[in-house]
Structure 1
Amino acid sequence: MFFKKSPTSASTPQAPAASGFDAQRERSVIAEMLLKRSAKLILGRSELEIIRGVCQAIVDVTSHIRLAWTWFGPTDTQTIRPQVYAGPAVAYAESLTIARNLLTRIGPAFTTLEGKSAGPFTVSQLSPFGPWREAARHHGIHHVLALPIASTFNGYSGIFVLYADRDGYFDEVGESLFAGLAELFGSLMTVAAERQELQRAAYHDALTGLLNRHAVDLIDRRVYRASLFEPASSILLMDLDRFKSINDRFGHDAGDKALQAVARVLTDALRRGDEIIRWGGEEFLVCLPQTALPDALKVAEKLRRAVEGITEPEQLTVSIGACEISALQHLPQAVARADEALFKAKSGGRNQVCVLP
């Protein structure tokens, strides 16, 4: 037996225990606190900040709940780690990692991650799941409630988990109040995910998946040099050679596939932290943060050879203009200089890298 599930009693009011614990009063105090703080929690905050504020408010108002955490993401995520958490036992949440392939081995409690509620359950220092033993041994946790967070957004889902130091706590206090919060969290996280998707769409090119020109301001912040003492960054402006003839001879579908292939080889050839913008129809802007011109030219040559390796619908070549970003110079100004170098590369025979003297 992997865990001891508590008897379900959420629908039946509990009499105060012999220890003097009043479940009805506990529930009322939490509900009253949430109502009082609702305006402050919501006003001027992001969705995740609201959720974090709610979790913090819960652990502030009752000493029995030692930890509250949430996770939200694609349903096929293989590793789950708490994203928002609050409570005296935050160290537990910070170190917690749940592998999805463990779900069938640690009991139905974590079927919550599959969108099903299993009800509250008891953990102890004898629980076979290591993190539960740690929760009981080091944080005094005895009772856990794991609730699903539902979402209508692209197969996303989540989990809301609360840990109490009192045996049977969630049976006595009931699940309904916390289930209502899980529903609220689902709405908030869906809004956040939709906004993130809209932002991603706004800053990304639909055909290649690369950044588009709307992202220039974001990249500019990364490469701008406020003084000569800051590390230099460089850019590469690339233009596919004679690309119009590919569309004319093979059709636009073939041209689109060629652009997608270029985007893939450029992405694969660059380092993490480098950025690629689809600058125009067959133009690409590569931004190399903290990369001086000599190293940028090496990267440019690597990219030129990578594009040469694309042979469908015919072998492709690319001309590249390179430019180091001067101090106090913004990205659009640097692009204008790179464009001059690109013109030099095109007029000088194509399939080469050029830089202005």
Structure 2
Amino acid sequence: MMEILSNFDSGNIVCKSNKDPSNIILEISPDKGGKFFQWFYYRLSGAKDIDVTMRIINAGEASYTQGWLGYQALTTFDRKEWTRVKTEYHDGILTINHKPNSDLQWYAYFAPYSLERLNDLIAKCQQSEFVEINSNCLSVEKRSIDIIKAGSSQNNDLVCWIIARQHPGESMASWLMEGLIKKLILEKNTLAKRLLDSATFYLVPNMNPDGSFHGFLRTNAKGVNLNREWETPSLSDSPEVYNVRELMKRTGCNFFLDIHGDEALPYNFIAGPDGVPSINQKQISLVRKFEKALCDLSIEFQDQYGYPKNQPGKANLKIAGNWVAEYFGCPAMTLEQPFKDNAKNPDSIYGWSLGKSSKLGITVLEALDKIIPDL
């Protein structure tokens, strides 16, 4: 008997009908508050060697319908290797066609990154002599927002903040952070030594553990979009931002990067602090230098496609990168990755993948190494 389940970490789907394998009817559940939805993650059982057609019938009401165009869903049987599967979007319905070769098969919007995997990563990090774990920041539902402090000297004047998963459905952000953290903290190498000797790092692998656990796309457990809270966060509705921002005020910030994913654009790109009221030429120059370094270091990165630049003085200071740039006067930016395949360097089997995201985390460190003397 076929069965579809999503009652696990990051799971999200409602099965409306599974009687006919050629017409399985599904719906995505909205985030808290009902405004956003697009993330899905579920398990199909009992369909080994059967051609199945799964239709997500409310895809046309999703937050970013342009994100379905040219998109291919991901599937796995071992929960390690995620490959793309035939997916079509027509008349508001996202249709996934597949023939599982195992009794259990998982499907997702992007390769999920569980809270348990994050806990394993944090446990490894705390064994480093250069690391302290700050677990004082809690989410709405009292989950820990672990902050990794890493640096080889107490006398480092430079402070670099890198955060991820403000939007919980953007799981590629976690894979990038894992690659970055492994290179910086868990592996012995000259790049990591140089960076840790030069600056103190504050790394937040998951800003929104509640939303991640519940399978939300953009909000926390209160239905709040954290990346619209940075100007005036509150302890009641957005404690995740409030507490991290308070610590950032105490530590200072010389470099800030916020890791995200974009549903519609099939590219990796930087969104800078253009339009911040007090933006100065040094900030602009450092952002451009960092962006250029990413392009030079990786075929996966580009600077031709991205978001429109804000008009002078018109940047939204509710957004993390803009608020940080304004408050600290430092280079602050958002790094976006695609849910779709990367049009600059396509891969028909994996698309933009967890492995490529992890490698991009290393590239971020290499690019930061290029500009850190100028911070």
Q: TM-score range by the shorter chain?
A: under 0.3
TM value normalised by structure 2: 0.22
Structure 1 or 2: more helix by fraction: 1
Q: Say which one has the larger Rg.
A: 1
Larger RCO, structures 1/2 (Cα 8 Å, 6+ apart): 2
